Amino acid sequence: MQTRMAAAGLDRYVSFNPDNIYYLTNFANMVHERPFVLVIPRSGRPQFVVPQLEIPHVKTRAIGDIEVVSYFEFPAPAGLAWSDRFKELFEAGERVGVESICPLQIYMEIPGERVCVDIVDDVRMIKSAYEIGRHVYACGLATDAHNALLAEARPGLGMAETSAKLRGMIMSRLLADDPSINPTATRIIAVFQPGSVSHDPHNFTDIDMRMAEGGPHVSVVNAVMNGTGAEVERTFFIGHVPDAARQTFDVMMEARRIAFETAVPGELLSEVDRRVNDHFRRAGMGDRLLHRAGHGMGVTAHEAPFFADGYERPIEKGMCLTIEPGLYIDGVGGFRHSDTVLIGDTGPIALTGGPTELDALTFPVRS
Amino acid sequence: MQTRMAAAGLDRYVSFNPDNIYYLTNFANMVHERPFVLVIPRSGRPQFVVPQLEIPHVKTRAIGDIEVVSYFEFPAPAGLAWSDRFKELFEAGERVGVESICPLQIYMEIPGERVCVDIVDDVRMIKSAYEIGRHVYACGLATDAHNALLAEARPGLGMAETSAKLRGMIMSRLLADDPSINPTATRIIAVFQPGSVSHDPHNFTDIDMRMAEGGPHVSVVNAVMNGTGAEVERTFFIGHVPDAARQTFDVMMEARRIAFETAVPGELLSEVDRRVNDHFRRAGMGDRLLHRAGHGMGVTAHEAPFFADGYERPIEKGMCLTIEPGLYIDGVGGFRHSDTVLIGDTGPIALTGGPTELDALTFPVRS
């Protein structure tokens, strides 16, 4: 972090993004209107401006040598505001790095020359050995929960019930493995869509929707487990595969193969998306796309980098992303498998798993 | 909204805050990296820049005459980005209002003369008759859940279990009353702290903490129910009231009386906090404060306006806030009741309820 700051000619860096602050300090902020701002000098220890009320939690969770600088309350009388304490941390004429997510109300209080640059976000993209171990763990747990969802698939199974059960399963396992996990850094989504809505992949308007014969259903486990993201998703059927779905499933599977093949170190992240989309267009499905081929994983379950056309940045060893090319056809349904992969020396290593082929994802009608 | 824009000499207003967008459109965004930006002209209909993927949900939930302007994906190749569609919505030389919460990456794409002003936040502070009805409903439900928590109070009762039960109770009632409620605009916190940690009011590090004989325990129900906030909290005891707690409880109760008495239309919001704090100082407890006397309620359960020293703005009829002066003594515990109140013609009207006196909040040792 400080090496990159020096390379960018910065005297200080201001981090406001709670995910970046969690990454740097292990303190997960339950975001509200009282500002938490981390100020990182080019050398020496970071200073963390926090409301007095939160000092005990910062001290409970924060790791590393951090100086806590507190203010009493927000709003506050003149001279006692967070910004009064904050401004004291700078010297005259400094060059200060600021995140692109920084809110105006924080930005306006930063003295010196302000430079918009996302250094923490860049550092977050390449996982350390410790982080890789945590992703392997989280992805294993996500896979187990997702397999449990598939094992229960049957007509009439309701989403609210399934979701509560799987979330309970993941939370229980997390707590059994580590009673000190941080609930503020834990968010679990475990849901599915039946064939009637899966063409609209973010549609969870009806939380009581139910599985039905046929498909394509799409299952989703996307979770941040104690500050580590994991995602696994599958397209599945119950009883039979509608004729209109077979060909599209195959086109999606070929896109997935292309994405896995293209996602090697040195290639551009954008190239994965472009090759997938070229394949979709060749198959006459260029207008069935709704999203890029994948997104990064880290202290959240949805972040940079992206397998996205226009994201012209090389793939690097140690990146962790989803591979999830998808097709969406109104009246037929949605087609998407997602796995979380780690970029290794020669290509992606899947950290999540589960059946991928049509036969293995067509379940008998259980009751 | 548009009247206030005209008064501020603005041609257009850019809203990014998801709570403001929900307030204006009824669409609750599950925030992620794809930008959702609402652009409001001085006259005519608002334009809502959204990712193509989300159009069906915007159309399902949004109310009113809004033009949807979509972009394909984020990130995107040059010419196809969200910002390309966004910039087309402005004419040359306009004066554009921007929220203080606006992230730099959005701010930097806004053409014309940018003025930082929080008009939507200001409008949100005064509730309409419809909003008041919804707050009355949400506060009634919060009170019922909170009373259920008090009714179960007994040594050994665990927080995780109680929390799951009360959240289930609230969610079931919400769904029974309105099956179309929006889960994205619903967040329920129902917790408590035993006497061993209640001096540290945001400490929920141990999610399995349990009630114990004595106290002070502090119970918390804070929820956004289908886009409407409610909060109720009580200080309670089991079996006996430790001697060291009695006097502090009384000092807190007097602060609460002062706050209710001071919170009349025309008085300053800050004055409520100042009078409460003066009372605490006179009682020799000026160093036992950790927070202001209350915060606003609206489409969230924690927002402006604030009963806070330094927040020099008049109290107005139709504001909805919590009244919750608190005291925190290491080794003794936390002392805080919170009720959600609506400011009426002559003072605050409590929308939540429950016992307030020490006798009624000292429960027998049940098993």
pLDDT score, position A204 = 83
Mutate to test the interface with B, among A290, A300, A307, A329 (most CBs of B within 10 A): A290
Closest CA to B341 of B322, B314, B318: B322
Amino acid at B143: T
* Contact check, Cβ <8 Å, B52/A290: yes
Which chain B residues are closer than 8 Å to A311 by Cβ? 75
* Contact check, Cβ <8 Å, B102/A98: no
Strand order of the sheet with strand B67-71? B67-71, B47-51, B37-41, B12-15, B95-98, B113-116
pLDDT score, position B285 = 95
B207 contacts chain A (CB < 8 A): yes
pLDDT score, position B204 = 83
pLDDT score, position A57 = 86
pLDDT score, position A360 = 98
pLDDT score, position B17 = 95
Query: What integer is the mean pLDDT of B279-297?
Result: 95
pLDDT score, position B56 = 87
Partner residue facing B310 (CB), from A77, A306, A308: A77
Closest CA to A325 of A362, A288, A351, A357: A288
* Contact check, Cβ <8 Å, A76/B183: no
pLDDT score, position B353 = 97
Q: How many residues does chain B have?
A: 367
- pLDDT tier, B366 (very low <50, low <70, confident <90, very high otherwise): confident
Which chain A residues are closer than 8 Å to B52 by Cβ? 290
pLDDT score, position A29 = 83
Whether the pTM exceeds 0.90: the reply is: yes
A32 contacts chain B (CB < 8 A): yes
pLDDT score, position B180 = 87
Instruction: Please give the torsion angle defined by the CA atoms of residues B343, B349, B354 and B357, in that order, rounded to the nearest 10 degrees.
Output: 100
Amino acid at A354: G
Closest CA to B141 of B225, B218, B233, B219: B225
Q: How many residue pairs bridge chain A and chain B with CB atoms within 8 Å of each other? A: 123
| CATH, range A2-124 | 3.40.350.10
Class of the CATH domain delimited by A129-363:
alpha beta
A216 contacts chain B (CB < 8 A): no
pLDDT score, position A69 = 96
pLDDT mean across residues, chain B = 95
CA distance A6 to A333: 51
pLDDT score, position B208 = 81
ipTM, 2 dp = 0.89
pLDDT at B32 over 90: no
For B68-82, how does the pLDDT look when each residue is reduced to its tens digit (9 = 90+)? 999 999 999 999 999
Mutate to test the interface with B, among A33, A60, A161, A274 (most CBs of B within 10 A): A33
* Nearest C-alpha in B relative to A79: B310
Domain boundaries, chain B: 2-124, 129-363
Per-residue pLDDT of chain A (367 residues; tens, 9 = 90+): 899 999 999 999 999 999 999 999 999 987 778 999 999 999 999 999 999 999 988 988 899 999 999 999 999 999 999 999 999 999 999 999 999 999 999 999 999 999 999 999 999 999 999 999 999 999 999 999 999 999 999 999 999 889 999 999 999 999 999 988 898 899 999 999 999 999 999 888 787 899 999 999 999 999 999 999 999 999 999 999 999 999 999 999 999 999 999 999 999 999 999 999 999 999 999 999 999 999 999 999 999 999 999 999 999 999 999 999 999 999 999 999 999 999 999 999 999 999 999 999 999 998 6
**Fold: same for B2-124 and B129-363:** no
Which chain B residues are closer than 8 Å to A52 by Cβ? 290
* Contact check, Cβ <8 Å, B57/A116: no
* Nearest C-alpha in B relative to A17: B103
